[in-house]
Amino acid sequence: MHIDLTGKTALVTGSTQGIGRAIAATLADAGARVAINGRRAESVADTIRELQDEADGRDLVAVPGDVADAADAETVLAAAGDVDILINNLGIFGAEPALEIGDDEWRRYFEVNVLAAVRLIRETLPGMTGRGWGRILNIASDSAVVIPAEMIHYGMSKTALLAVSRGFAKEAAGTGVTVNSVIAGPTHTGGVEKFVYELVDQSLPWDEAQREFMRTHRPQSLLQRLIEPEEIANMVAYLSSPLASATTGAAVRVDGGYVDSILP
């Protein structure tokens, strides 16, 4: 299969590192003009420079701003221009005992992980439907289905994203716009490395720490390793392309077999 996104503009939120960065690179390599987003203008500029150094010809535009803030989100969208492909990747996570999660923290997880995505969909979907083509992808998590005891608030927010995706897919029915969520499994990023060391012996070398984390905290993974960000990005690129025209309202798993269910 040849994925060609030439002429399409993609906005990837939280794309200065981790999964978002890998998605941005993959979409750019498929020919899309990719808007790189992060809260700090400096980190966005650094990421664009690095991505362009890695591969010639990538069409990248800086759109710094905190999309969890309504005013910043407007600024980001204005800088991006007409968005054909929206990847809601921004998310926060962290371990906290269930009974110690306060109201403000519950609200913060909902604001950042859910409402920011809803706001951007609300702003971009009319333009997509008017043009008769578009792709919206919300990056969810295995935690949406298998709620981790150590971060219930995170799991809640990712479950909500599955509902958001299905609902907006119905809103876009018959328009040429698809809306899906991607259930990403345990993925190897800098943030996850830090999280792993919060749960296992910090003196362990990374390979041993990763194995111990998967064995102790994610034993149902069939992959038995952390997923690389590029593996998530490959699925996102396909779902962002014309080849995935019949896939909408779905929760597509790239979870390494972590979710022990035939359906999400």
Query: Each residue of 5-31: pLDDT tens digit?
Result: 999 999 999 999 999 999 999 999 999
> What are the φ and ψ backbone dihedral angles of 116, each rounded to 5 degrees?
-60, -40
**How big is the CA angle at 237 (ends 235 and 9), to the nearest 5 degrees?**
150
Do 36 and 159 reside in the same domain of the chain?
yes
Do 46 and 19 reside in the same domain of the chain?
yes
The conformation of residue 246, written as its DSSP 8-state character, comes to T
Beta bridge partners of 62: 36
d(CA 14, CA 87): 9
Do 157 and 194 reside in the same domain of the chain?
no
d(CA 178, CA 136): 6
Do 57 and 145 reside in the same domain of the chain?
yes
Whether residue 109 lies in the annotated active site: no
Digitized pLDDT (tens) for each residue of the chain, 264 residues in all = 899 999 999 999 999 999 999 999 999 999 999 999 999 999 999 999 999 999 999 999 999 999 999 999 999 999 999 999 999 999 999 889 999 999 999 999 999 999 999 999 999 999 999 999 999 999 999 999 999 999 999 999 999 999 999 999 999 999 999 999 999 999 998 888 988 999 999 999 999 999 999 999 889 999 988 999 999 999 999 999 999 999 999 999 999 999 998 876
pLDDT of residue 79: 98
> Catalytic: which of 109, 154, 197, 258?
154
21: domain CATH number is 3.40.50.720
- Cα 250 to its chain centre, rounded Å, is 15
Do 142 and 36 reside in the same domain of the chain?
yes
What is the extent of the structural domain holding 156? Answer: 9-187+227-253
**How big is the CA angle at 108 (ends 97 and 164), to the nearest 5 degrees?**
105
Model confidence, pTM:
0.94
Closest to 179 (Cα-Cα) out of 187, 171, 190, 189 = 171
